[in-house]
């Protein structure tokens, strides 16, 4: 397996409507898909599962399945995911800087 291309990874995640929101929830301790789905208005289970699979493929999230009835699944940031989230923090800081430089016009 070849080394992932970080530029493509960043484009894929940041360009995705829900990926950053899902990462933010996991970072805050929301680990179960059902909790995530309830926490995000407008996010379907299908789309959530696609985003979780993508983040897992990129090595940002780790999935743990528990042999229980009913089955339980939890997601956590990997070591790489904790490094990746720093990039997200930087993007958030850039947004705050832009917002301060360009305040919304008064109605």
46-86 confidence digits (pLDDT tens): 999 999 999 999 999 999 999 999 889 999 999 999 999 99
Q: Residue 5 — pLDDT band, cuts 50, 70, 90?
A: confident
Mean pLDDT in residue range 26-47: 94
Q: Residue 2 has what pLDDT?
A: 66
Q: Please choose, from the candidates 3, 36, 21, the residue with its C-alpha nearest in 3D space to the C-alpha of residue 85.
A: 21
Whether 73 is covered by a domain: the verdict is yes
Residue 53 lies in a domain: yes
Residues 6+ apart with CB under 8 A from 65: 71, 72, 73
- Tell whether 1 is covered by a domain: no
Q: What's the structural domain count of the chain? A: 1
31 within domain boundaries: yes
pLDDT at 91 over 90: no
Assigned domain for 92 exists = yes
In a domain, 10, yes or no: yes
User: Which CATH number covers residue 96?
Assistant: 1.10.10.10
Average pLDDT score over the chain: 89
User: How far is residue 89's CA from residue 83's CA, in Å, rounded to a whole number?
Assistant: 10
Residue corresponding to tokens 């990874």 = 9
Residue 103 has pLDDT above 90, yes or no: no
Percentage of the chain modeled with pLDDT above 70:
94
Asked whether residue 61 is domain-assigned, the answer is yes
For residue 84, give its domain range: 6-100
Model confidence pTM above 0.85: no
Domain annotation covers residue 107: no
54, 12 contact by CB (below 8 A): yes
> How confident is residue 1, by pLDDT bands cut at 50, 70 and 90?
low
């Amino acid at each position: 397996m070849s080394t992932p291309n970080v530029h493509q990874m960043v484009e894929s995640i940041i360009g995705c409507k829900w990926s950053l929101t899902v990462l933010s929830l996991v970072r805050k301790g929301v680990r179960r898909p059902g909790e995530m789905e309830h926490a995000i208005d407008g996010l379907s289970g299908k789309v959530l599962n696609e985003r979780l699979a993508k983040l897992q493929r990129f090595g940002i999230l780790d999935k743990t399945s528990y042999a229980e009835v009913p089955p339980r699944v939890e997601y956590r940031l990997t070591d790489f995911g904790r490094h990746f989230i720093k990039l997200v923090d930087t993007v958030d800081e850039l947004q705050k800087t832009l917002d301060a430089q360009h305040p919304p016009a008064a109605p």
